[in-house]
Amino acid sequence: MTIGTGFNYPSDIAQRHHREKRSARDKWRARFPNPPDLCFDYRALVEQENGVAQATQTQHKICIIGAGITGLTTARELHRCGFKNITVIEKSRRIGGRHLTALGRHNTHSIGRPPFEMGAMRMPFFNKSNEQPTDGRSLMAYYAKEFELVHSDFPNPGSPAVRSTGIYLREGSIDGDGEPTLLIWKNTDGKTPPPGQTLGTVFTKWKRFADRMTLHVAEHYGSEHWESMWASIVSQYEHLSFRDLVKMPAIDIWRQGDPGNFGGMGMTAQESAVFYSIGIGDGSWGAFYDVCALYPLRTAIFGFSSHLQLIHGRVNSDGTPMDSPYLNAQSTVDSKGLIFNKPNYIGLGALAESLLFIKADETRESLYEHLLNSQSGLLTSSTVTKLQKLTNGKIRVHYDWNTLQAGRLEKHFYDFDSVVITLPSWLIETQILLENFNQEMLPFDIVTAYKTAHWETSCKVYAPLKKSFLSHNNNIPQTIVTDSFIHDIYTYRYNDNHAYDCILLSYTWEDDATKLSCFSDDELVDKCIEELDRILLKSTNIKQKISPYIGHEGAVVQRWMNDKNALGCAKLYRAGTYHDAVSLMKYNRDFSHTSGLYLCGESFSVDAGWTEPCFRGAIDTVINICNKTNADFNGGFTMQDYPEYKVDNQK
């Protein structure tokens, strides 16, 4: 889901409401757009020379469970701080987690095939509209600049980055008259509303709400009163589902005496049904209709939807990888000699590869080379099975080694001073036993919060697309949004040098993804192509198949709920459970100094499905480990400069 992508409310309004830093104390305050609940500029801390801090207890033993973006960022920044004794344990034989860039079917190189982003794919940089993306104040912007990741505007439906968007609702008769039609939306200026009376009405009601809220949020964000204003917004909306918010009556004016109340969108039941399927043209929101209203509000208003970027990788202008560490290695191995995926530096997968293999300026060696100095530094194909709190204060980490090779599985353990958990929370509950952690270390409320978190499924169906579609086809729109089971179709090009372009044949979430689970991958690819042809042929203004352009044999399907290393694609929260989610983000500050456990990343965030909470959770963990070990923070930063999450204890 992306909300208002083509209209960039936060980034445009940020230009008109720039809040300058007012004092040395305020240099750590974030600027708008940025996430709302912790107004802190993580980039300002990380981009300093030597990063967050300089370690004083350099031999403090740290275990990081999971080599996704969260785990690798945590390890890299601890390495920059000077911690010497770091172990990263990864269950699979690849790094990157839910950042999964597929290079050909079965993730094998196929000549001329572009990368397919089977997981995260649209990156917000939190830049204002008059800035380059890498000048944005997100950690994604920092790392993209640090690793020279090439990027371009993501071709989102309804955005200026596509030449046209096709909209097919109610079998092509959304306004109830005429022959079945694929509505064509051209929005080259980013200001053109979607076509048709019904879509126009829905769009207008959304835009009035979004403009009002964004305008006032931008004006107050970063001020001394911001935290109280956000608390008022939370109080107003945390008990509502997004469905409720869409139908809630609109208000005519915002009142300073009631700062959290922006009313609702005031849609009728019929308008809500359209909004469910189409958003404002950028894809179905139906999967998110029953989550807490704060989730889509955060996404729409605070920068996650503006100027989204497609990551090409650490590549040259022709799309070939630039000279980078281990690019030409025959293979890469972990600390015990097991082979895991070598870096390609193509697509979004280049981010995880850069975190591991590219040396920071302040260190003698890359994180990868540092980890290989120890026989337990980097362990792949290794499944953590139990965390055991010992009487001496350490945590014993039990794991099965070489789990992917039959007959070679061995059970091992190591003892650590600190253990960082970056896994999806359902994996913790179903696969890791936590032993001897009392209530002062791991309260029941925290365990319940991550056990009962809602993890959503997602399904993506990608295929190669002939170059002639984007080069010569002037009839079929570049992107299509429907209320059919395929829902969202994206076509785009990385560069002219790949033999093929990309088509994301179907992108679905929640129930829309679950209903596709009974089909084999080949059957699903066939069904998606057939359904897309049916829609285009039935549309009297198109009458043309897209199937001749599609490389069926090269299609790739990813179902995240069936991935045993994920059990879902993103963690969401229902109405009334927002404070439970925030309590997980507070855990590191409140309990980790006693437990030695750190809960880290998107799994313990309130911005599910995005990369930024992976980074922010990682840096939060680094801050708290540095504080526990009396490290010397850089730049004059102290824990008094680090705001604390607020939780309503009366929830």
pLDDT in tens, 117-145: 999 999 999 998 889 999 999 999 999 99
Same domain, 563 and 577: no
Angle between helices 139-146 and 349-357 (to 10 degrees): 70
Domain CATH code at residue 473: 3.90.660.10
Other CB atoms within 10 Å distance of the CB of residue 391: 6
Q: What is the pLDDT of residues 40-81, one digit of tens each?
A: 999 999 999 999 999 999 999 999 999 999 999 999 999 999
Does residue 14 carry a pLDDT above 60? Answer: no
Residue with tokens 């709190």: 389
Final residue belonging to a domain, choices 567, 594, 623:
567
Question: What is residue 11's predicted lDDT score, i.e. its pLDDT?
Answer: 60
Domains of the chain: total:
2
Least confident of 17-31, 296-310, 491-505, 553-567: 17-31
Same domain, 439 and 585: yes
Question: What is residue 68's predicted lDDT score, i.e. its pLDDT?
Answer: 97
Final residue belonging to a domain, choices 567, 598, 632:
567
Same domain, 519 and 469: yes
133, part of any domain? no
CA dihedral 465, 470, 473, 477 (to 10 degrees): 90
Same domain, 558 and 619: no
Q: d(Cα 119, Cα 97) in Å, to the nearest integer?
A: 9
Question: What is residue 281's predicted lDDT score, i.e. its pLDDT?
Answer: 53
Final residue belonging to a domain, choices 524, 546, 567:
567
Does residue 502 carry a pLDDT above 50? Answer: yes
Question: What is residue 18's predicted lDDT score, i.e. its pLDDT?
Answer: 52
Same domain, 466 and 613: no
489, part of any domain? yes
Same domain, 360 and 377: yes
Question: What is residue 646's predicted lDDT score, i.e. its pLDDT?
Answer: 82
Does residue 25 carry a pLDDT above 80? Answer: no
Same domain, 532 and 611: no
Tokens of 623: 């801050």
Question: What is residue 17's predicted lDDT score, i.e. its pLDDT?
Answer: 55
Question: What is residue 209's predicted lDDT score, i.e. its pLDDT?
Answer: 94
Domain CATH code at residue 637: 3.50.50.60
626, part of any domain? yes
Ranges 203-212, 363-372, 407-416, most confident = 363-372
Other CB atoms within 10 Å distance of the CB of residue 23: 7
**Residue 83: partners with Cβ closer than 8 Å, 6 or more residues away:** 55, 58, 60, 62, 625
2, part of any domain? no
Q: Which domain holds residue 370?
A: 33-95+352-447+573-641
38, part of any domain? yes
129, part of any domain? no
Question: What is residue 108's predicted lDDT score, i.e. its pLDDT?
Answer: 59
359, part of any domain? yes
Same domain, 419 and 368: yes
DSSP 3-state of 517: coil
Q: What is the pLDDT of residues 275-285, one digit of tens each?
A: 887 775 556 77
If one compares 23 and 637, the residue with the highest pLDDT of the two is 637
Does residue 591 carry a pLDDT above 80? Answer: yes
The DSSP code sequence of 529-592 is HHHHHHHHHHSTTT---SGGGB-GGG-EEEEGGG-TTTSSSEEE-BTT-HHHHHHHHHHHHHHH
276, part of any domain? no
Per-residue pLDDT averaged across 338-350, rounded? 96
Confidence bin at 2 (pLDDT 50/70/90): very low
Query: Of 306, 217, 220, which Cα lies nearest the Cα of 262?
Result: 217
pTM of the model as a whole: 0.95
Same domain, 371 and 433: yes
What DSSP character marks residue 249?
A: P
Same domain, 425 and 481: no
Q: In the chain, pLDDT over 70 holds for what percent of residues?
A: 94
* Rg from Cα positions in the chain: 24
Same domain, 464 and 495: yes
Average pLDDT score, the chain: 91
Same domain, 412 and 558: no
Largest CA distance in the chain: 77
